[in-house]
Amino acid sequence: MDNGMFQLENYKPLRELVFEHIKRAIITGELKPGERLMEVQLAEKLGVSRTPVREAIRKLELEGLVVMVPRKGAFVSDVSLKDIIDVFEVRETLEGLASYLAAERITKEEIDNLAEILKKTKENVEKGDSRGIIECDVKFHDAVFNASRNEKLIQIMANLQEHIHRFRIIYINMSERANKLVEEHGELLNAIKTGNAQQARKLAIKHVESIQREVIKELSQDK
């Protein structure tokens, strides 16, 4: 694990900082599914005692990111086929609705912002910058949701983001998927820009379905 990501800030309780840093490592894939969480090693890397690490692991277990195995210890939870299907079924509906509403409510400034994000996405794909692609992907979808002007919809999506990000790490690292991402985002932007709400919904759902198929395919090949 990269020590650099565990530079602890001093404006939050220690137990909360430890929890957030370990959680981030799981979500970003730095701590991989099935990897054992060693309290002593984590405590040493974070420069803390084992107590806040133990508390963080228990909290992560409650969130489903960690599983406790009797007499073996704590492990990062695997991403199951059901997890993928459950998350993407919800995401399809949310993305479709957000895109539909965005096409009806988006401003010129927001359209320009989406176009700029798409431009940066292309640049990052050309450079092979996975982290940059992920950042742009997050910004693009966040911008679409913000343009929907529906606060409840935005909040529901925010609650799903951690699960989505675990899958995002998988498909962004596939070069073919990264190129499709640019193409599909471009099509969606055009539909939103022209105010074609039905087409925007259709393209958003198609985009999510495509990602789901490729994530399932990639995980199946790894097993």
Domains of the chain, start order: 3-76 (1.10.10.10), 81-222 (1.20.120.530)
Residue 168, Cβ neighbours under 10 Å: how many? Answer: 21
Residue 9: its pLDDT value, please? 54
pLDDT of residue 222: 63
pLDDT at residue number 135: 92
pLDDT at 11: 67
**8 A C-beta contact, residue 200 and residue 100:** yes
Comparing CA positions, the residue from 91, 90, 6 lying closest to residue 48 is: 6
* The model scores a pTM over 0.85: no
E-strand spans in the chain? 36-37, 66-69, 73-76
Q: For residues 203 and 106, what is the distance between their CA atoms, to the nearest angstrom?
A: 17
The per-residue pLDDT for 5 is 43
3-state DSSP: the chain helix, strand, coil percent, rounded to 5?
Answer: 75, 5, 20
pLDDT of 171 reads 76
Averaged pLDDT, groups of 10, the chain, 223 residues long = 49 87 88 93 94 96 92 92 93 98 99 99 93 93 99 95 83 77 97 99 97 86 65
Q: Name residue 69's beta-bridge partners.
A: 73
Strand arrangement, sheet containing 73-76: 36-37, 73-76, 66-69
